[in-house]
Amino acid sequence: MTRTAPWTLWRHTTAELWRLLLLTTAVLVTVISFAAAVKPLADGKLGPAEAVRFVLLAMPPMLAYALPFASGFAATLAFHRLAQDNEVLAAHAGGVSHGRVLAPAVASGLVLAGVLLALNESVIPRFLRSMEQVVQQDVTRLMVRSFARGQAVEVGSLMIHADTVVRVDPKTDPRLAEMGATQYLVLGGVVFLDLDRFGEVRDEAVVRRAPVVVVPDEDEHGRRQSLAWVRPEQGSGVRRDETLVLFERLRPFSFAVPSAFEDDPKFLTFGEFRRLRHEPDRMGFIRMRTRDLAYHLAERATTDAINGALATQGRVRLERANGEPIVVRAAGIAWDHGERAWRLIPARDGTPIGVEVWRLGPGGEPGGGGVTEITAEQAWLATHMGGPRLEERDLTLRLTLRGFAARGAGAEPGTVGEAPGGQLAERVLDNIRPGENPLPSLLAMDAPELLAMAKPRVTGENADPFLIPPTLELERRLARLDREITSKQHERWAMAASCFVMVVTGAVTAVRLRSSLPLTVYLWSFFPALGAVLTISGGQSLVHNTGAPGLAMLWGGVGGLAVYTLAAYRGLRKH
């Protein structure tokens, strides 16, 4: 057997293989990229110019799917032609083993696997982001086209539908220009539906007019985004309990421009994956659960502080939104399941609960405007944290007094004993804040820090049922994110490995079945390769849902294809 490397044969085979590879890859990538643009184009999310740009941006990501099959097809044709021309037989007769004949396929497979791995880990995620931005970066275009087609726009748990939509140049309004507004819409005949996680309507509202202003913004990680402010005006609404509400203006709300890549790890590079394991709050769905746990911990810290102050000092100082101090006198608080609020415990049986509201003076000094003294037979303190999906949340308290009497500055004339029907009259002091608010420091913590603080309070016999749901939800989401990162990384590595194996499989099958037609030969390598890709995709989903056990399926297809190729090569060597 010759010891001289068959360089001429290798050069000829490699040139033929790569010529077919580049041609096949170009055709496959173009076809798949156009196919990827069909749905957003049909949905009206892309215009003609955006569609061309979308297709061009889609070409690098489509290499992840096209390159393995294109390389396998190219290797099959190149080595089948080599075998049919009896060049493999001549080389073997000249002392060149089948393994050395197949060396160009092995070398090309290694190069292609490295290229695909680099594309998957760095290049493709960036192009996927650009594709997403082309589809979704223009809020006004998305809304105008959706509403014109009679479709609703989904924003989190909110569905928005409008009869009319008018696009206005924000530069025509000095206030909007000063805000730096980039887009301005005026919606007419608007319906808002707030849905729960099961898709059932919780609240609904119909408004006559709702302006939408889009301004540039950054999230807490410094990433650029756009923020859309919606200001509903004059309308009516129906709550879940079928209560009808009429209003002149609803509270404005905002939402970030819809962007899938903020909440999907598939848009992240290898370095970003590694960073995400240590900073999971970079994902929006983790950040939302982290904030929710922070609010729950802040609520418990607030009520514990209030109970401690009342138990030790008999009084606690709170504040209204305008800065007016409120002093509450009681012996402590206890949870009232019927009222779903904290009942204030009197200092002694039969004594009323005392409340002092220190009115602000002209200069803003507490008590400068007098003091309102209130006594109540019963009192409850309730906390409010806003909805779990709202970014603009706050921790406030509501003090409900029943059977009260008031005197001093700002008190109503006379004493109120009972309301009509024999019920105790009620007075509510709303939008109260704790004197020392623990919320800012808790919001500054990340998910692991908050979990370390919450875990001791949700385990054991004295587990706090109030903290258990947000703690378990955050833990579940973190575990799912960790599994998703693992699944995406292994999927990328497995696809790169499959690209190498497919090239060798195509070459071995072509040489072994040299007397068959090229299409027949390719089918003998295509279907096993297709099975490998399907197991990679299915295994990725399984790892995402169950963890490490799914890796057996994810890598099983690649391993099975390698065993199939090895068996074919052993059969080739025998002949």
Model pLDDT, residue 416: 44
Instruction: Report the phi/psi class of residue 512: left, alpha or beta, with left for phi > 0 and alpha for psi in -120 to 50.
Output: alpha
Final residue in a domain of this structure, among 421, 444, 467: 444
344 and 414, same domain (yes or no): yes
Looking at the fold, whether 106 and 190 belong to one and the same domain comes out as: no
Is the residue at 224 inside a domain?
yes
pLDDT at 133: 66
- Same structural domain, 148 and 106: no
- In this structure, are 22 and 124 located in the same domain? yes
Q: Is residue 264 within 8 Å of residue 129, measured between CB atoms?
A: no
Same domain? For 38 and 93 the reply is yes
Whether the CB-CB separation of 196 and 202 falls below 8 Å is answered with yes
- Spatial distance between the Cα atoms of 167 and 181, rounded to a whole number of angstroms: 13
Task: Return d(Cα 390, Cα 394) in angstroms, integer.
Answer: 10
Q: What is the CA radius of gyration of the chain?
A: 34
Residues 315 and 437 in one domain: yes
Whether 347 and 321 share a structural domain: yes
Q: Which domain holds residue 308?
A: 303-444
Which DSSP symbol is given to 187? E
How far is the first Cα of the chain from the last one, in angstroms, to the nearest whole number?
16
The verdict on residue 556 lying in a domain is yes
d(CA 575, CA 573): 5
Q: Are 190 and 227 in contact (CB under 8 A)?
A: no
- φ, ψ for residue 418, nearest 5 deg: -130, 150
What are the distances in angstroms from CA 364 to CA 43, 330, 371, 433?
57, 27, 14, 18
Residue 472 lies in a domain: no
**pTM greater than the 0.75 cutoff:** no
- pLDDT tens track, the chain, 575 positions: 446 768 888 889 899 999 999 999 999 999 988 888 887 777 666 777 777 888 888 888 888 888 999 999 999 999 988 888 778 778 777 777 778 888 999 999 999 999 999 988 888 888 877 776 666 555 566 677 777 777 787 777 778 888 888 888 888 877 777 667 777 888 888 888 887 766 777 778 888 888 888 776 655 544 556 677 888 887 776 766 666 666 656 677 777 664 444 556 777 888 888 888 888 888 877 887 898 899 999 999 999 999 999 999 999 999 887 888 899 999 999 998 888 899 999 988 778 899 988 888 777 777 677 888 888 888 999 988 865 544 456 788 999 998 888 887 665 543 444 444 444 578 888 888 888 888 889 988 999 999 999 999 998 888 989 999 999 999 999 999 999 999 999 999 999 999 999 999 999 999 888 888 888 888 888 899 899 999 999 999 999 999 889 999 999 999 999 999 999 888 877 65
CB neighbour list of residue 254: distance below 8 Å, 6 or more residues apart = 227, 228, 229, 230, 391, 392
User: Is 95 in the same domain as 34?
Assistant: yes
| Opening angle at CA 544, ends 538 and 545, nearest 5 | 95
Residue 383 sits at φ, ψ, to 5 deg, of -105, 150
Write the DSSP string, 226-279.
Answer: EEEEE--EEEEEE-TT--EEEEEEPPPEEEEPP-GGGS-GGG--HHHHHHHHH-
Same domain membership, residue 146 and residue 131: no
- The per-residue pLDDT for 365 is 75
Q: For residue 434, is it within any domain?
A: yes
Domain end point (choices 256, 291, 318): 256
Neighbour-count burial of 443, counting CB atoms closer than 10 A to its CB (0-12 exposed, 13-18 middle, 19+ buried): middle
Residue 179 structure tokens: 């805000």
Q: Is residue 471 included in any domain, yes or no?
A: no
Query: Which residues, at least 6 apart from 5, have a Cβ–Cβ distance to it below 8 Å?
Result: 100
Question: For residues 293 and 160, what is the distance between their CA atoms, to the nearest angstrom?
Answer: 28
Three-state DSSP at 536 gives helix
**SS3 state of residue 381:** strand
**Strand-pair partners of 404:** 376
Give the span between the Cα atoms of 560 and 498, in whole angstroms.
10
* Residue 153 within a domain: yes
pLDDT computed for residue 331 by the predictor: 92
**One domain, residues 216 and 94:** no
The reply to whether 363 falls in a domain is yes
485 and 499 assigned to the same domain: yes
3-state SS assignment for residue 538: helix
Provide the token pair at 229. Answer: 């402010």
Is there a domain that residue 221 lies in?
Answer: yes
For residues 513, 519, 524, 527, the Cα torsion angle rounded to the nearest 10 degrees is: 170
Q: What type of residue is 532?
A: A
The tokens describing 24, both together, are: 């096949």
Domain count, the chain: 3
Same domain, 435 and 308: yes
